[in-house]
Amino acid sequence: MTYRPTSTARLTLAGTAAAALAVSAVLLPGAGAATAAPASPAHQAKAAAALAARLGNRAAGSYYDAASRRLVVNITDPSAAQQVRDTGAVPRVVRYSTAQLHTVIADLAKQARIAGTAWVIDPRQDKVVVTADPTVTGAKRARLGAAVKALGDRAALRHTASPFKLLVAGGDAIWGSSVRCSLGFNVTVDGAPYFLTAGHCGNASSTWSDSGGGAEIGQTVDSRFPGTDYALVQYDDSSSAPASEVDLYDGSTQEITGAADAYVGESVERSGSTSGLHGGSVTGLDATVNYEEGSVSGLIDTDVCAEAGDSGGALFDGSSAIGLTSGGSGDCTSGGETFFQPVTAALSAEGATIP
C-alpha cells in the first residue's frame, strides 16, 4: 500500500503629550455611534497589518481582544485614530512605536545574547519582555539584569521555572538515522510532494522513515537552524499524494487548506503525539530564543504547552497552517511557553505551497 502520511503534527523531536502618557489610552467609538458587526479576527489582523505599513513609525503593534471581538491597534499619534477605526479596529495610544521597540531588541542582541534567554515585543504592555530561565545564573544573570535595567520602561525582565529547550525526545512520527522527529505539514514544490518539519530535525538526519528501522520515505533537501528553524523533506515516491490534515486525537482530523500569519491574541491549537491536542493563544511575534544550540529569531510566542517529543509539528488555526514547533519551557501539567517557526516564512523561502 502506498504510504500516505498526513500532516498530523506528530511532534516527536523534540510627539505628542498624549502619546507620552505612562498609561495608554484606548480611543473607543463615540457613545451612541452605530457599530458594525466585527469582521473575523483574521480579516481584522490583515487590515491592521496593511495599515501599520502605511502608518510607519506611528504604528506600535496590535493584538486581538477576545472580550470585545475587536483588534486593538497601538498608535503613537492620536491623529491616526480614525484611520484605525476605518479598518474596524480600536485605536490605542501608547508611548513606544514598533520601530523604537525594535531598537531595544537590537540592543539586547548585542549586549545580552545569553543561552537560556528569550525576548519578544508585547503589544499589550508596549514593551519588550525578556525572559531568563534557571540556567542563567551568576555573572550571566547580572549581565542580563544590567542590560534590561539600562533600557528603562521599554523592557521588563521575568524568569521561568524551567529551561528553554528544543523539544527533543521520543514519539511515533518520523524517524531519522539517530532521532525521531515530527512531520509538520505536507506541502508541494513544483507539483512534487514534500513535508515541513523543524530545522533542528533536518540537521539531525538526511533520511526519514515512518517507523523505527522502516523503509525510507523521504530525504532532507534543506534544513535551516539556528537563525530560523525549519526543514524541507522530499518524499521518495514522487507520485504520492499525502493528505493535508492534522490529527485531533479524538479519531478525527482537521483539513489544512492554506497557511496564514499569526497575530497576537489568536486562538491556536497544537497537535502532538507526545501530549496530544492542546490549545492556547499567541502572546507575541518576532520572538528570539537563545537555545543552548543556537539562537532563533522571528518565532511565534504562545502559551500553548508542549513536552519533550513535540518538536517539528503543527500549530494551526482551523484550516490554516500557522507554525512548526521549535521549543520552549514547561510542560502540559504545570503549563508552559512554546515557540513556533512561522509556516508562511518557510513556504516563501522554499517556494512551497500547502496542497
Tell me which of 93, 125, 153 is where a domain ends: 93
172 included as an active-site residue: no
Mean pLDDT of 63-88: 93
**Active-site residue (options: 122, 126, 133, 200):** 200
Distance, in Å, from the CA atom of 17 to the CA atom of 20, rounded to the nearest integer, reads 5
Tell me which of 93, 123, 153 is where a domain ends: 93
Residue 345 pLDDT grade (very low, low, confident, very high; cuts 50, 70, 90) = very high
- For the stretch 312-336, pLDDT in tens is 889 999 999 999 999 999 999 999 9
What pLDDT was estimated at residue 176?
Answer: 86
Distance, in Å, from the CA atom of 61 to the CA atom of 122, rounded to the nearest integer, reads 8
Does residue 106 belong to any structural domain of this protein? no
Tell me which of 93, 125, 147 is where a domain ends: 93
The reply to whether 317 and 246 lie within a common domain is yes
What pLDDT was estimated at residue 36?
Answer: 54
Question: In this model, does residue 147 exceed pLDDT 80?
Answer: yes
Mean pLDDT of 233-257: 91
Question: In this model, does residue 5 exceed pLDDT 60?
Answer: no
**Active-site residue (options: 182, 273, 311, 320):** 311
Question: In this model, does residue 25 exceed pLDDT 70?
Answer: no
Count of domains forming the chain = 2
Question: In this model, does residue 223 exceed pLDDT 90?
Answer: yes
250 included as an active-site residue: no
The reply to whether 87 and 179 lie within a common domain is no
Residue-range definition of the domain harbouring residue 81:
23-93
The reply to whether 210 and 329 lie within a common domain is yes
Question: In this model, does residue 210 exceed pLDDT 50?
Answer: yes
Dihedral over Cα of 265, 267, 271, 272: its sign: positive
The reply to whether 66 and 215 lie within a common domain is no
**What pTM was estimated for this model as a whole?**
0.87
Mean pLDDT of 157-170: 82
Does residue 101 belong to any structural domain of this protein? no
Distance, in Å, from the CA atom of 21 to the CA atom of 7, rounded to the nearest integer, reads 47
Does residue 170 belong to any structural domain of this protein? yes
Does residue 99 belong to any structural domain of this protein? no
Q: Could you count the other beta carbons within 10 Å of the beta carbon of residue 218? A: 25
Mean pLDDT of 67-86: 93
**Active-site residue (options: 229, 261, 286, 310):** 229
The reply to whether 39 and 124 lie within a common domain is no
The reply to whether 49 and 171 lie within a common domain is no
Q: Which residue has the higher pLDDT, 160 or 246?
A: 160
Q: Which residue has the higher pLDDT, 273 or 205?
A: 205
The reply to whether 134 and 40 lie within a common domain is no
Mean confidence (pLDDT) of the chain: 87
Q: Where do runs of H (alpha helix) occur along the chain?
A: 41-55, 81-86, 98-111, 138-149, 199-202, 343-350
The reply to whether 197 and 324 lie within a common domain is yes
Distance, in Å, from the CA atom of 270 to the CA atom of 304, rounded to the nearest integer, reads 7
What pLDDT was estimated at residue 168?
Answer: 54
The reply to whether 166 and 53 lie within a common domain is no
Mean pLDDT of 129-135: 98
CATH assignment at residue 255:
2.40.10.10
Helix (H, G, I), strand (E, B) or coil at 272: strand
The reply to whether 236 and 186 lie within a common domain is yes
Does residue 62 belong to any structural domain of this protein? yes
The reply to whether 150 and 28 lie within a common domain is no
Does residue 98 belong to any structural domain of this protein? no
Mean pLDDT of 53-82: 93
The percentage of the chain sitting over the pLDDT mark of 90, rounded to a whole number, equals 66
Q: Which residue has the higher pLDDT, 257 or 171?
A: 257
200 included as an active-site residue: yes
Mean pLDDT of 176-199: 90
The reply to whether 207 and 69 lie within a common domain is no
Does residue 66 belong to any structural domain of this protein? yes
What pLDDT was estimated at residue 249?
Answer: 82
Reduce the secondary structure of 292-311 to three states and give it as a string: CCEEEEEEEEECCCCCCCCC
What pLDDT was estimated at residue 48?
Answer: 85
Question: In this model, does residue 125 exceed pLDDT 60?
Answer: yes
Residue 180 pLDDT grade (very low, low, confident, very high; cuts 50, 70, 90) = confident
- Asked whether the beta carbons of 121 and 286 are under 8 A apart, the reply is yes
Does residue 171 belong to any structural domain of this protein? yes
